[in-house]
Structure 1
């Protein structure tokens, strides 16, 4: 993700509708994640060209398993079992949200330190391969864990967005207790997704 892009781009107009299976850390029930996201929404109020992420859909995308039409429900169950085995000795932990990341298609908060989240990504990679025989992929091609707070729905200058939000918000600590497997159509802003399985950290 670029720290300071010069232009925003329409996220939805560049995507075709396709269901995918994601590994998400769901944060919609976390009061600290909701609070920092609300702070971002308040600062961005009135800035055109943005779709704020609804509080219930706050998430940290960890890994993409693949297309929904290539992964069966039974394979999702195996993915969850394999990930549970990998994460049985990983106890819940905290990450900090506060530093703002900018991409032409989204505005996000970096989750730090990334090293704490790496076991989740590695478990998702292992479980996806074990269950499907195929490799998934990182959503941005590289590992920068983040929580999106708004997506761009228009082409235009980035300066108004950056001026409204800045480069930092007050830090909030968020506790990570589980990771979910979610079926999602990521080509629209209507949030068509369905949690399919939850893997809790530190569960035997």
Structure 2
């Protein structure tokens, strides 16, 4: 495991990012699954569990709030709403542990089940936001982080704690949220800016 909390380029205390998330902290079935995983991990030092209210699947980082105008944000939201009219809600399966050196994460099946929503968001960002981070994104693997690593340590205890895998849960994805996000200590917090309902344009 390696420390997740290094300062990425441009990120600093108090500086906010606009990010499109799938927020799942209010889903009871997700909360129970994450609680089980965090209970398995609580004896392992060097991990910061993600509080339930801040559980999320990062879908697209847009850019820094101080580089994007309010009019661009309004145009982006309208463009996302238009594109999401043709993206139907989908049911995904959450629960398969994935290995990442900086976090304990749960994978989403099918892996491409959320690609249409993300593609629509990226198209909207490209045509409405001049200063964006589209080119900075690695290949996207949808996932839910349940704990972040805060130090360098062997991964074996984490891998063993997550075996056997927890029972997966079905999660219906029917909306996406734009948030203004800030890193505070060892946690990501945000204010919700907009919610877009899939398949409706609302």
Structure 1: unaligned runs, 5 residues or longer: 1-7
1:91 to 78, 88, 100: 88
The alignment status of 1:9 with 2:2, answered yes or no, reads yes
Two-structure CA RMSD over aligned residues (Å): 1.9
Report the TM-score when normalising by structure 1. 0.89
1:68 to 62, 65, 68: 65
8 A Cα contact 2:20 2:179, kept in partner: yes
After TM superposition, which residue ranges in structure 1, 4 or more long, deviate above 4 angstroms?
none
Structure 2: unaligned runs, 5 residues or longer: none
Report the TM-score when normalising by structure 2. 0.89
8 A Cα contact 1:82 1:127, kept in partner: yes
2:32 to 35, 56, 60: 35
The alignment status of 1:164 with 2:157, answered yes or no, reads no
SS of match in other structure, 2:112? helix
Mapping 1:117-136, distance limit 5 Å? 117-136=114-133
8 A Cα contact 2:49 2:147, kept in partner: yes
Query: 1:143-193 deviations in whole A, cap 9, x for unaligned?
Result: 210011100111111111111123622110001111111111247324331
Moved more, 70-79 or 32-41: 70-79
SS of match in other structure, 1:133? coil
Moved more, 136-145 or 28-37: 136-145
2:47 to 42, 45, 50: 50
Query: CA separation in 2, counterparts of 1:106 and 1:139?
Result: 20
Query: 1:47-72 deviations in whole A, cap 9, x for unaligned?
Result: 11001111111111111111221112
Query: CA separation in 2, counterparts of 1:21 and 1:173?
Result: 28
Query: CA separation in 1, counterparts of 2:82 and 2:139?
Result: 25
The alignment status of 1:189 with 2:186, answered yes or no, reads yes
